[in-house]
Structure 1
């Protein structure tokens, strides 16, 4: 269970967050929730035309992505702004960025340049399509990666055309993979004393997330297609209408099939010549789902879930977000983390979905105002007050 205590698991780490939109901030949020000092470096006011892509800074998305962080504004195109960044890098463990691959070289903070000032630094780069290759300089967004990575070809109704997933799965998974890469680099640094460059992309992450569908092609040469709410291999596994809504069911093997037939009081289906084994059930899926449709309309969703649970057959409700967060198991898991916001009042954010026995993650502070900690952070790295004032007048911070 997540609690509101202040996690100290990664309080010894400083992360420079140069990221925007979703994939990079997702990566950095993981470290922030475990207590790392995450410094969000933002462009000075008006310098980034895409700064509002997530909407208002007070909007739910921004608050959720940037909690537990500090904010500094720097003009990285100015010599003093770049120097301030490099001075920060000297004190840091990790830099995370998701610019197009050529931007960091052009502005002067490539991995080689960072390593010159801090050989232990770990740079994590998240791009649309990779740091090199024919698409390296293309702009990449989540839905583009969903399409190019194969997800949209296996999502949607049977023969109904491509369909995007309802969540930013490429962005989120790329951020999570980047965090895994950083943790591996940190563990290796304990032995070597050296940092390294961690790279991932939305396209790579999306392909990896397709998992068994990608493996079907690579190993067997089979090109999978969309199957609606039915599982591509197992039957019955999918959505069934009840007397008051819909539920998901999942029957994964012959033992569960036997329990399922007992639960729905249709023992005849277990030995039916079209349904007795998985291979036959899959071949005659349309016929089987027709039989089940008539049965499941006789009871409510809650009744069916209770009946199937007795026989250890996986079944679950299909919830909207309000229903999700009113579910007793979700409430028990405390994944809606409470926070007192200075402007919004009491709010709840989505907690990091991990529990550790001693150092679980926590949501401690609201997303910072733009540049809220600029002066304090610059003082921490030894920049004098007169220099800070001069930089502010010159719009370098």
Structure 2
């Protein structure tokens, strides 16, 4: 048998019995210390990233163990925790701290290891620009009409631009503020500068690539009718041919799963009578 446990802190250690949720583990793992601006209050990722990635970790662990069992015939217990998953999300920043002992500082949208790789304000909104590698920095300087920045020693490399990020951002922002976001997206993409507007969910609903990827789908819910939900993130021909269904009720498939494992009807009835399992009335037949 392969058995996977998911908990806040793991099955062993001083916190094994301690409960936790996404926000608590964002705080306790150090993740919240990375998010925000230098003078802002601690912030967390609004999307429950620790919860979600822990589910992914559990899925990968079980699939890997199933594959291993095909070779060695062994089952085993898999211990997956929110804490370990939250730390795994921070591999780059945590590894940097373990190397040099310097606590990371909150720098908003910027990447601590490269520049420019952050959000900039334009005349009517914000855009994200990543022009730190290859020839993209000198190209950006030319597009913005400031070729003299190419030879500025403060901006000679991505590492130097990280050191002088404040001066670099001030110079770039002065130019970006002169035109709307749509203008900058057009000219930057034409020059092969990586960029994007800062989208809200209304923009996401209208995004042509998200529609093409099938990531917003409709399904029929027995209580709520037609609802729209995020789709499955992996595209494949088989997935495209499989209709979406709403999440099952608690215990809806308990009886059918036990039948698949050759439990008799009497054994299933005994489990129900002892409250060892639950089936909604609609699933009892």
Per the TM superposition, whether the score is higher than 0.5 is: yes
**Shift of residue 391, structure 1, vs aligned partner:** 6.6
CA contact (8 A) 1:152 1:164 kept: yes
The one of 195, 198, 203 aligned to 1:318: 198
1:218 maps to 98
CA–CA separation in structure 2 for the residues paired with 1:184 and 1:371: 26
**Shift of residue 325, structure 1, vs aligned partner:** 2.1
CA–CA separation in structure 2 for the residues paired with 1:358 and 1:342: 25
Taking only aligned residues, the RMSD between alpha carbons, in angstroms, comes to: 2.3
2:223 maps to 343
Give a deviation string over 1:156-210, Cα, whole Å, max 9, x none: 1114242111111111111111111111101101101121111111000101101
SS of equivalent residue, structure 1 residue 124: strand
CA–CA separation in structure 1 for the residues paired with 2:257 and 2:154: 69
Give aligned pairs, total.
275
1:150 maps to 30
1:231 aligns with 2:231: no
1:104 maps to none
SS of equivalent residue, structure 1 residue 353: coil
2:6 maps to 126
Q: Tell me: CA distance 1:273–1:394, structure 2 relative to 1, closer, same or farther (3 Å).
A: closer
SS of equivalent residue, structure 2 residue 95: helix
1:271 maps to 151
1:184 maps to 64
CA contact (8 A) 1:351 1:363 kept: no
**Shift of residue 361, structure 1, vs aligned partner:** 8.7
Of structures 1 and 2, the one scoring higher in RCO (CA 8 A, sep 6+) is 1
**Shift of residue 316, structure 1, vs aligned partner:** 0.5
1:382 maps to 264
1:292 maps to 172
**Shift of residue 383, structure 1, vs aligned partner:** 2.0
CA contact (8 A) 1:263 1:307 kept: yes
CA–CA separation in structure 1 for the residues paired with 2:98 and 2:204: 36
2:186 maps to 306
Q: Tell me: CA distance 1:182–1:320, structure 2 relative to 1, closer, same or farther (3 Å).
A: same
Q: Tell me: CA distance 1:274–1:196, structure 2 relative to 1, closer, same or farther (3 Å).
A: same
Summarize the alignment of residues 236-247 of structure 1 with structure 2, pairs less than 5 Å apart. Answer: 236-247=116-127
1:193 aligns with 2:73: yes
Summarize the alignment of residues 196-211 of structure 1 with structure 2, pairs less than 5 Å apart. Answer: 196-211=76-91
> Is there any run of 5+ residues in structure 1 with no aligned partner, and where?
1-120
**Shift of residue 260, structure 1, vs aligned partner:** 1.1
CA contact (8 A) 2:10 2:79 kept: yes
SS of equivalent residue, structure 1 residue 138: coil
1:260 aligns with 2:140: yes
Summarize the alignment of residues 63-142 of structure 1 with structure 2, pairs less than 5 Å apart. Answer: 121-142=1-22
With structure 1 as the length reference, what TM-score do the two structures score? Answer: 0.64
The one of 46, 49, 68 aligned to 1:166: 46
1:82 maps to none
2:207 maps to 327
